[in-house]
Structure 1
Amino acid sequence: MADIDMTAWQGRIDPEPDSLRWHQHILPLSHALERAPGLALLGFASDAGVLRNQGRPGAALGPQALRRALANLALHRAGPVYDAGDIHCHGDELESAQEALGERVSALLDGGHFPLVLGGGHEVAFGSWLGLARHLGQRDATTRLGIINFDAHFDLRDPATVRSSGTPFAQIAQQCEARGWPFHYACLGVSRASNTRALFQRAQALGVMVREDHEMTEAGLNTIARDLERFIQACDHLYLTIDLDVLPACEAPGVSAPAARGVPLSLLEPLIEIVRDSGKLRLTDFAELNPDYDIDGRTAKAAARLIHLVTLTG
């Protein structure tokens, strides 16, 4: 069972009617079946994958920082919103934490909720995917599950030696092969300077839809939007994962690996809206917020805005 700490949910209260903020509406969710289906926030407090990937630690504090950034935002959702607590990775026990995350995500989905997972390093992706795959596999043995990752990195490193925040999508590709599922993966915002030739070759071999950061401009946005829509059409279900290091360092300084270029919020938002409005989105997670390096809380605020965007419907 995840630990639930509601102390982050504090903020102002306005006297005008219909002026709810997140902290006034959110409720604790101990058991997935105990309340009506709604949006369920679930933390994954882990640094283990980042440390194994030789990154700077601190992402384990990300879930609470994201809650604090969300707490005072205006709430425009009509449906229920829950805090399902945190899954903690103790020490280097990454694999067991990912399994626990998968079990919890699967239970939330089985209960009719929309899970939104708050990382944690991008090792969160493998645990998130495990939960969605477990849920879908009970219903459709041949499902076409698409992964859309906004990220400066492929995270396709070979997991044979060590599993880390740099390996989740390679692990997922292996799992898909074992299950007989197609591997549908789109990675948008990739930095060529931050990914080796070997990683680009692996992405090509796996049929990954790749759009580099320099391609994601205002002039090229419509083309990328059409490409993304074609990717979505080939999928039955979608898992959206957002690594905050896809944003420029000026917008997201509080990550393990700040981006020298990145893709600004103004270009990410219309693409995320396409995913949100597809009717196929089943799960979203956010990764790599590191509060220790977050100047003026910029990264947490940017992430909170994106969470607000993803969850506007409902």
Structure 2
Amino acid sequence: MSTDHTATPAGTATVTADVAPEPWTGRDDGPGADNLRWHHVVGLEPQDTEPGDVAFVGFRSDEGVRRNKGRQGAADGPRALRGALASMALPTPVRALDAGDIEVADGDLENGQHRLGRVLTSLVDRGHPVVVLGGGHEVAYGSYLGLAGSRALHEGARLGVLNLDAHFDLRDDVRPSSGTPFLQMAQGEEQRGQRLNYWVLGVSQPSNTTRLFQTADRLGVRYLLDTECGLPDLQRVDAFIEEFLASCDVVHLSIDLDVLPASAAPGVSAPAAYGVRMEVVEHVCAAVAASGKLAVCDVAELNPDLDADNRTARAGARLVHRILTTRSATARRAA
């Protein structure tokens, strides 16, 4: 696979998304901090934010899913995730920015990923933790580009990539797709003179060929199979996450919703026959958020056309909610 891994230089000026954000709306129970929901706290003006305020960016793309011969429709994922998150109740006030969407409407996935990367670099360098609402899992490479171009990595911070996923997504295809982002990251890190620090939780053996396991081993990927992530194995999961967090200074958390069982996440390109229970995935997300190291989280593969009763959208939004409220609570305790 041939692709351009050039990162955005550090110090990039403010970069805007392709599609301007729209106001969030949702249930309103009246004024006061005790009635706050997400749609009350998400602003649209960057000048009204401060370092530490979370930023949302959408990535409207399923071009990578199309190339990977999956079921298309994930381009509508950002809209559904915002809608599911908007009315979730906040335990305490937070501040957030919606920076708009990157849209891949012309089949030029590579350009869209680089546009996403430039927006993320700008936000990360301004001190915003970023949640990217996908989109197919090709979003993960755009997130990586944003971090690779950030001031923190240029100054020597150690990057760690944690993927919650049934798949390694290490395919060596002719064209980049939703199945290739982490191999692209490995190639990008090699160009930076680094080895990709890549960990995966929830890998499904039947969903990954022997060649993919061999590629993972060659790249030094650390992983837990889905069968090793049950509630009886929570100590093993905790040890895995603790070791991952000790290995890095800056975390890129990538959540492919197909890591969840099909009953919890039917609206994905490849629903899981086994999967990792929601309780375990949420537990992992909270641990990462509490570390203080999370810089970018992307949520991928939500396909609203395939969803049932908005279950997948609600699951994805619940994970985002848990991540951000845990991060906020941790920051308050540290202040």
Q: 1:108 aligns with which of 123, 126, 146?
A: 123
Q: Structure 2 matches for 1:266-281, cutoff 5 A?
A: 266-281=279-294
What's 1:81 paired with?
96
Structure 1 counterpart SS, 2:28: coil
Structure 2 unaligned spans of 5+: 1-15, 329-335
SS at match of 1:260: coil
Structure 2 CA distance for aligned equivalents of residues 280 and 114 of structure 1: 10
- Does the 8 A contact of 2:138 with 2:178 survive in 1? yes
Tell me the TM-score normalised to structure 2 length. Answer: 0.89
TM-score (norm 1): 0.95
CA–CA distance in structure 1, aligned partners of residues 176 and 241 of structure 2: 29
CA shift for structure 1 position 182: 2.6
Once the 2 structures are TM-superposed, how far is the Cα of residue 16 of structure 1 from its aligned partner? 6.5
Question: Contact 1:144–1:181 (CA<8 Å) still a contact in 2?
Answer: no
Dislocated runs of 4+, deviation >4 Å: none
Quick one: distance in 2 between partners of 1:266 and 1:301? 14
Matched, 1:185 2:182: no
Residue in structure 2 matched with residue 155 of structure 1 by the alignment: 169
Matching residue's letter, 1:147: V
Residue aligning to 2:43: 27
What does residue 189 of structure 2 align with? 176
> Which residue in the other structure is 1:36 paired with?
50
Residues 1:34 and 1:74: Cα distance change in structure 2 (over 3 Å): closer
Question: 3-state DSSP class of the match of 1:162?
Answer: coil
SS of the residue corresponding to residue 223 of structure 2 reads strand
CA distance in 2, matches of 1:303, 1:10: 18
Indicate how the Cα distance of structure 1 residues 170 and 21 shifts in structure 2: closer, same or farther if over 3 A, else same: same
Structure 1 pair 179–286 and aligned structure 2 pair: CA distance change class (3 A): same
Deviations along 1:55-105, one digit per CA (max 9) or x if unpaired, are 010000000000000111012353311111000002210000000000000
Give 2:157's aligned residue.
143
Shift of 1:181: 1.7
CA RMSD of aligned residues (A): 1.4
Question: 1:233-255 CA deviation, whole Å, 9 max, x = no partner?
Answer: 01121110100000000100000
Give the distance between the partners of 1:233 and 1:53, measured in 2 at CA. Answer: 34
**Alignment partner, residue 112 of structure 2:** 97
Q: Provide the residue aligned with 1:4 in structure 2.
A: 20
Whole-angstrom distance in 1 between the partners of 2:92 and 2:103:
28
Q: Which residue of 1 aligns with 2:10?
A: none
Q: CA deviation at 1:34?
A: 5.6
Q: Deviations over 1:123-169 (max 9, x none)?
A: 000000000110046642x432000000000000014x111000000
SS at match of 1:286: strand
Residue number in structure 2 paired with 1:297 = 310
Q: Per-residue CA shift, 1:261-311, capped at 9, x if unaligned?
A: 111111111111111111211111100000000000000000110000110
Contact preservation (8 Å) 2:163, 2:254: yes
Deviations 1:175-209 (A, max 9, x none): 10110123111111011000000000010111111
1:6 partner SS: coil
Match of 2:244 in 1: 231
Give the match's secondary structure for 2:231. Answer: coil
Deviations 1:111-130 (A, max 9, x none): 11111000000000000000
Paired position in structure 2 for 1:260: 273
After TM superposition, give the deviation of residue 35 of structure 1 in Å: 2.8
Q: 1:66 aligns with which of 78, 81, 94?
A: 81
SS at match of 1:283: strand
Residue 240 of structure 1 corresponds to which residue in structure 2?
Answer: 253
Equivalent-residue separation in structure 1 for 2:145 and 2:186 (angstroms)? 12
What amino acid maps onto 1:186 in structure 2?
Answer: W
**Counterpart code for 2:298:** D
Q: Is the 8 A contact 1:55 1:256 kept in 2?
A: yes
2:331 — aligned with what?
Answer: none
User: Percent identity of the aligned residues?
Assistant: 50
CA-to-aligned-CA distance 1:29-61 (integer Å, 9 cap, x gap) = 4x5x56323111100000100000000100000
Deviation at 1:4, TM superposition (A): 2.2
Partner letter of residue 143 of structure 1? A
